[in-house]
Structure 1
């Protein structure tokens, strides 16, 4: 219970009596929507069944529903996970005439247990220290949503620092592992897109809240201010995303140029090997041609050098000159043949 005298804590059994008072503001913070919490939401506050269902189930996008006597607002805060994953930490608010109920939606077990209570713990510390004294429920809701916005801004700041480091690695020299570096680039881009989505949808929600006729003028002003703050987070995330896109395009250009240079070097090497292979083939052809030219006289000389008894050519007077002429003629014929084929 929040009154002009300060903050006091009570059990769930005291809720009916506290809600009947008109001298303060009741804040109920529910860490997890278990059956007892569902009973309080349904039987004590008598919220609309759809509002209770939204508190029990996980909502993947921010939303707002206005009922006859209360307004449900669902927001998300980012939390960095492993391998670039972004956890959507849900915070539900139900705002009534003299109360505010905050419900921390289902959370991934990988998220540390203190993370979902981050914003409400910060606001509770301000209440206990006397630095915050809300008068209407929207004052308290505004403080909690502002804490969530600061966490979104801190997340963008952390990703921005990572983006600057990535840019230095690109401009300072080629990263060691191109695939791992590209993975880091797109992880940072994913984080910025996630926060941008959260801020954009949340800003639109508070724009709708500011237009509700059932909300007081003070509540409308606070909702409009929150919409403006979420819009600023979106703009900053967009700016950093564009900056990161420039880094990605620059690195992509570096990879393309490097691949082109490697391809050019490979083409030059292939051309060199092709020229060497062509020259080698030419030499082989010349050697083969001369071997064939010299083979013909050797063959004739070998045949006529066998000196068999029954070789009539051995007794011819013109046998020796004819053998020489045959050798020369066969060699000349082969030379002319290979010359015309371009082998010599």
Structure 2
């Protein structure tokens, strides 16, 4: 952990063993920055600062939502800032704060192994650089906390700006008709929506807890003004994220409408194709009926002629005088009957 004393002369690095003496001083501001709350850090928080065990537990474990707890001589606050991961995943980077009259303890919560550990330190390092450069000289824990939270909110705003640029690019692809694979494009749309929703949730919950903190009477008037300012800034970020999310929703609805229209047109074209195939099949069936009818008509004389053409010895018809005319008459009557039957059924 890093122990620093901030005074009119600037910022000085101190040792952990000096903490009791530094906290007893009436001049200067003590800032303890803990990159990760291990056993040694938890012991310092418990023995030197006498923080509540549940608050220390919150520093050791990951917290899913922002929170605040008011104690007699300090406030405990948990906040998050977004970090972009792979395929639109949003990592919640946690920072915990113990805000006292003459000290501030910042604890960086556990981070996902896929996130660079240095990402969790960007707000505190940015504020430290301002202090070392003389551009910032906080006098109280609330002033130092305000500077750190302001850096956190700038990162939230930058994240919204990054997602907004993605939204504009996606809109241009929709209006330009170059979306590519629909499934992948829909995934891109909803990944952008997820990012905006994540920041919106962070800002809304943070605005709510700082709004509640502004009503605490144990906070000095100067601290209350800073708390109200932070609550307003979080509310503004929430509003911006909401606006961009609604804009993106319009892009999503426009694209879904485009897909619906395209699907309807494709379905209509398929119906026309099916209609043509059905008509062709019907015409083919009619032709087959005609062919089958004429084949049956001509089959009857062929059958009679085939039987008479066998020339067996015991065929009495061969010796009839009327055998030949009778065979022709049978052929004609059979063919005529078949013709009338097929004609009545509409096959011919």
Q: TM-score, normalised by structure 2?
A: 0.97
Task: Tell whether 2:37 aligns with 1:30.
Answer: no
Partner of 1:2: 6
Report the 3-state secondary structure (helix = DSSP H, G, I; strand = E; otherwise coil) of the residue aligned with 2:118: coil
Q: After TM superposition, give the deviation of residue 31 of structure 1 in Å.
A: 0.4
Partner of 2:274: 270
Q: TM-score, normalised by structure 1?
A: 0.98
What does the per-residue CA deviation read over 1:180-234, in whole Å, with 9 as the maximum and x for residues that have no partner? 1111100000000000000001011111111110000000000000000000000
Report the 3-state secondary structure (helix = DSSP H, G, I; strand = E; otherwise coil) of the residue aligned with 1:23: coil
Partner of 1:193: 197
Partner of 1:246: 250
Q: After TM superposition, give the deviation of residue 309 of structure 1 in Å.
A: 3.6
* Distance of 1:161 and 1:262 partners within structure 2: 33
Partner of 2:21: 17
Which of 155-164 and 53-62 deviates more?
53-62
* Distance of 1:310 and 1:18 partners within structure 2: 138
Q: After TM superposition, give the deviation of residue 308 of structure 1 in Å.
A: 3.2
Q: After TM superposition, give the deviation of residue 306 of structure 1 in Å.
A: 2.8
Q: After TM superposition, give the deviation of residue 305 of structure 1 in Å.
A: 2.5
Partner of 1:293: 297
Deviation above 4 Å: which 4+ runs of structure 1?
none
Return the match for 2:115 from 111, 114, 125: 111
Return the match for 1:336 from 335, 340, 347: 340
Q: After TM superposition, give the deviation of residue 59 of structure 1 in Å.
A: 0.8
Structure 1: segments with no counterpart, 5+ residues: none
Report the 3-state secondary structure (helix = DSSP H, G, I; strand = E; otherwise coil) of the residue aligned with 2:150: helix
Structure 1 segment 1-344 matched on structure 2, within 5 A: 1-344=5-348
Which of 272-281 and 70-79 deviates more?
272-281
Report the 3-state secondary structure (helix = DSSP H, G, I; strand = E; otherwise coil) of the residue aligned with 1:116: helix
* Distance of 1:306 and 1:220 partners within structure 2: 122
* Distance of 2:39 and 2:280 partners within structure 1: 83
Q: After TM superposition, give the deviation of residue 48 of structure 1 in Å.
A: 1.5
Structure 2: segments with no counterpart, 5+ residues: none
* Distance of 1:318 and 1:51 partners within structure 2: 123
* Distance of 1:261 and 1:153 partners within structure 2: 42
Q: After TM superposition, give the deviation of residue 302 of structure 1 in Å.
A: 1.8
Report the 3-state secondary structure (helix = DSSP H, G, I; strand = E; otherwise coil) of the residue aligned with 1:131: coil
Q: After TM superposition, give the deviation of residue 57 of structure 1 in Å.
A: 1.4
* Distance of 1:49 and 1:73 partners within structure 2: 15
Q: After TM superposition, give the deviation of residue 107 of structure 1 in Å.
A: 0.9
* Distance of 2:301 and 2:88 partners within structure 1: 82
Which of 266-275 and 284-293 deviates more?
266-275
* Distance of 2:317 and 2:53 partners within structure 1: 125
Q: After TM superposition, give the deviation of residue 166 of structure 1 in Å.
A: 0.5
What does the per-residue CA deviation read over 1:271-317, in whole Å, with 9 as the maximum and x for residues that have no partner? 11111111111111110110010011111122223333433222322
Q: After TM superposition, give the deviation of residue 53 of structure 1 in Å.
A: 1.4
